[in-house]
Amino acid sequence: MSPLEKRQIETAGYVSLPGFMSPDLLARLRARTEELFEAEGENAGSEFRQEPGSRRLANLVAKGEVFEEIVALPEVLEYIGAVLGKDFKLSSLNARSANPHSDSLQPLHADMGAIADEQGYWVCNTVWMIDDFTPENGALRIIPGSHLWRKLPQSELADLKARHPEEILVTGTAGTVVVMNAHCWHGGTANRTDCDRLAIHGFYCRIDKPQQQYQRGLIPETTQSRFHPALRRILALDDPENDRLSKSVDKPSGFLR
């Protein structure tokens, strides 16, 4: 991570990493994600929540070795640590595909409805662009610097789906990864094209907060048994305190109810 990238995360709340995924990794992520959409059909995403205007998948660490690979990459975790400090864990790994010509516009939100506390920031998201993100196909919108306000958009705005005067679109080519302080106000925009717009979201939280999706409870033990120590650590599989915090959480998201 360069000093310029660190400064951008601190001030704007996000950084974009073009070409982060190799062509091979991008192809494997796309292929496995589409296989899962086909296999799960109308139940896709049901372990967490489904969303009108989009296809969703949840609990991806349990569904393919390529997903295990990306959540514990040291090159990604360095950026997460710049937001959350040294002690953090994966909160969830999901996919979201904005449907063509759909009302896939999301309300502005902070993930998990989170406001930074006395210890600082506690949510950070990564957006893995499996398709290009363009102004027309449902790219991410973000309010730069809004993580510094320590307010939620629903307490300040009358219409959470309206265009915000300070919003920008985060666009990029397939293979880009965006790391975002998830206290920033953000949301997906409407896909006005003829094609799906697919991304994978690796969401992390500080170690003292509950996981959005309780990894130990969702991933079969037979799958967990092959995980290497670094992956077990980032999933908090051997952390009794995480068990206490996360096992009874009722699927918080920040905007999906």
Mean pLDDT of 52-65: 94
pTM: 0.95
Average pLDDT, the chain: 94
pLDDT, tens digit, 9 for 90 and up, residues 7-18: 999 999 999 999
pLDDT digits over 94-140, tens only? 999 999 998 778 999 999 999 999 999 999 999 999 999 999 999 99
The more confidently predicted of residues 53 and 199 is 199
Tens of pLDDT, residues 181-226: 999 999 999 999 999 999 999 999 999 999 999 999 999 999 999 9
Q: Is the dihedral of CA 111, 112, 115, 118 positive or negative?
A: negative
Question: In terms of pLDDT, which residue wins out, 199 or 252?
Answer: 199
* Predicted local confidence at residue 68, as pLDDT: 96
- For 144-185, the pLDDT digits (tens) are 999 999 999 999 999 999 999 999 999 999 999 999 999 999
First to last CA, the chain: 36
For residues 255 and 253, what is the distance between their CA atoms, to the nearest angstrom? 6
pLDDT at 220: 95
With 70 as the cut, is the pLDDT of residue 254 above it? Answer: no
pLDDT surpassing 60 at residue 257? no
pLDDT given for residue 205 in this prediction: 97
Residue ranges of domains in the chain, CATH in brackets: 3-207 (2.60.120.620)
How are beta strands 168-170 and 140-142 bridged, if at all? Answer: antiparallel
Q: Which residues on adjacent β-strands are paired with residue 177?
A: 17, 128
pLDDT of 189 reads 95
